[in-house]
């Protein structure tokens, strides 16, 4: 709902007097690959339509109406500016799916309130793994940049989740239906859960994103994936730094034509396909994915494909599944640097199921084929040595054509073994063994 006319005038009063400078649009430099479709390249917005967002500036009074008014006023051809040095507090859920042909210049700091009771009742629900979001970003031709910070105020959520695992924690940037848009030159801090959840989107670029937000209490920050894609295609993620404690990037069901390149990932669970096959009766697809030039440090995995078996399984009380079908096809991981990573490569169709016998008794119906790992370098952690990788398929009928070439990764003891289950060992340039460790 838009504010009243009088309130609108007050909220945008700084527009006439503010001394501001607009940030230039970021240059998008893809390396080493160009995406399948050209990057968005709209004409410049009108310099006569600049909406400077006012703020109470006290760190706790809700600035949501001011933000919404500016976005409505300068939508379809203008600029919205969050001023450098200012803090904007968001205490109300925002549906931003109306946006089109707009540049949003975030130079200041946007932070979300710590009212966990409000957000659990009012954040926007998605349909996958209990995902909700503070705001829902959609529309077309939206550019968000400027070098400023978006802060999810995550510490209160980390502590609350430790007390109650059924707490609905919002993602920091929730995207639904966005197309032909760019998010670049942003600092993201302390997300309660995923940093980005990208649903029903097409031709979206994420460039030069700085992600971090560790807990300051004994309760760790959990499920803080950098990006999760879902029912989306032609997504490019590049030139970014991610310090987190879950997947650096994860391709959830029905993610196609995805390019991920030139990332520094630290503390993560790797760049992951999945998890897939979680829900009975669903058909999950992830295909045509290129992951290139990744520096992976202090992580559980480098490259990972995770599929639930065809039997009820549980990772935890709030994450259970198994029995879905689908396919993973045309996936390439290349040029990955491995530094203190538990598994350089992990494929499992036994995700959430630690009973290997049960996993093979009820093999996943989800097929995996045409997967390539090439030019990996570095050293794993000691956790699973002598293993540096695991290729665990529940059945050879649904899992094949997996190749690993030019894999120069060793454990700290100098070994390069891989656990191989239902695999063509000749396609893997690693020493296969049947001594498995660490199903997760």
Active site residues: 269
Asked if 3 contacts 13 with a C-beta cutoff of 8 angstroms, the reply is no
Q: Cβ contacts of residue 39 below 8 Å, gap of 6+?
A: 28, 30, 182, 205, 236
The separation between CA 422 and the C-alpha centre of its own chain, rounded to angstroms, equals: 30
CA atoms within 13 A on the CB side of 87: 14
Residue spans of alpha helices (H) in 135-222: 155-163
Q: How far apart are CA 34 and CA 28, in angstroms?
A: 10
Backbone CA torsion sign across 114, 118, 122, 126: positive
Residue 152: how many other CB atoms lie within 10 Å: 26
Q: How far apart are CA 71 and CA 227, in angstroms?
A: 25
Asked if 51 contacts 79 with a C-beta cutoff of 8 angstroms, the reply is yes
* Phi/psi of residue 27, nearest 5 degrees: -85, 135
Backbone CA torsion sign across 419, 424, 429, 432: positive
Please give, one letter per residue, the 3-state secondary structure of 356-417: HHHHHHCCCCCEEEEEEEEEEEEEECCCCCCEEEEEECCCCCCECCEEEEEEEEECCCCCCE
Backbone CA torsion sign across 147, 153, 159, 163: negative
How far CA 381 is from CA of 150, 293, 351, in Å, comes to: 33, 20, 21
**Cis upstream peptide for 386 (omega within 30°):** yes
């Amino acid at each position: 709902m838009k504010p009243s006319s009088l309130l609108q005038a007050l909220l945008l009063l700084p527009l006439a007097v503010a001394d501001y400078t607009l940030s230039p649009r970021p240059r998008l430099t893809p390396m080493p690959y160009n995406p399948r479709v050209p990057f968005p390249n709209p004409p410049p917005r009108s310099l006569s339509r600049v909406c400077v967002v006012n703020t109470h500036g006290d760190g706790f009074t809700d600035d949501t109406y001011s933000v919404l008014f500016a976005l409505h006023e300068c939508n379809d051809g203008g600029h919205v500016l969050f001023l450098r040095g200012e803090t904007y507090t968001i205490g109300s859920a925002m549906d931003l799916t109306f946006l089109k042909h707009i540049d949003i210049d975030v130079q200041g700091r946007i932070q979300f309130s710590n009212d966990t009771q409000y957000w659990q009742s009012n954040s926007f629900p998605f349909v996958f793994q209990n995902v909700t979001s503070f705001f829902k970003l959609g529309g077309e031709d939206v550019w968000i940049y400027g070098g400023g910070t978006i802060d999810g105020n995550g510490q209160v959520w980390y502590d609350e989740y430790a007390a109650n695992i059924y707490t609905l924690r919002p993602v920091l940037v929730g995207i639904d239906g966005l197309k032909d848009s760019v998010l670049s030159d942003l600092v993201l801090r302390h997300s309660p859960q995923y940093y980005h959840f990208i649903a029903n989107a097409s031709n979206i670029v994420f460039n030069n994103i700085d992600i971090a937000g560790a807990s300051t209490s004994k309760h760790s920050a959990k499920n803080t994936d950098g990006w999760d894609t879902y029912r989306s295609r032609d997504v490019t993620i590049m030139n970014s730094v991610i310090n987190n404690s879950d997947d650096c990037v994860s391709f959830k069901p029905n993610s196609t034509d995805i390019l991920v390149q030139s990332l520094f990932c630290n503390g993560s669970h790797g760049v992951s396909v999945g998890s897939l096959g979680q829900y009975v009766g669903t058909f999950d697809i992830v295909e045509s994915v290129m992951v290139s030039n990744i520096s992976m440090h202090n992580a559980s995995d480098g490259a990972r494909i995770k599929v639930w078996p065809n039997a009820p399984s549980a990772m935890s009380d709030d994450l259970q599944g198994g029995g879905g079908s689908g396919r993973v096809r045309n996936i390439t991981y290349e040029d990955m640097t491995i530094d203190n990573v538990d598994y350089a490569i992990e494929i499992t169709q036994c995700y959430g199921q630690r009973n290997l016998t049960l996993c093979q008794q009820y093999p996943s119906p989800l097929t995996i084929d045409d997967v390539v790992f090439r030019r990996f370098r570095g050293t794993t952690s000691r956790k699973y040595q002598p293993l540096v990788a695991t290729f665990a398929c529940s059945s050879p009928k649904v899992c094949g054509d997996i190749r690993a070439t030019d894999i120069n990764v060793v454990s700290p003891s100098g070994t390069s073994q891989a656990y191989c289950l239902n695999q063509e060992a000749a396609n893997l340039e690693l020493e296969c063994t049947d001594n498995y460790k660490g199903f997760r």
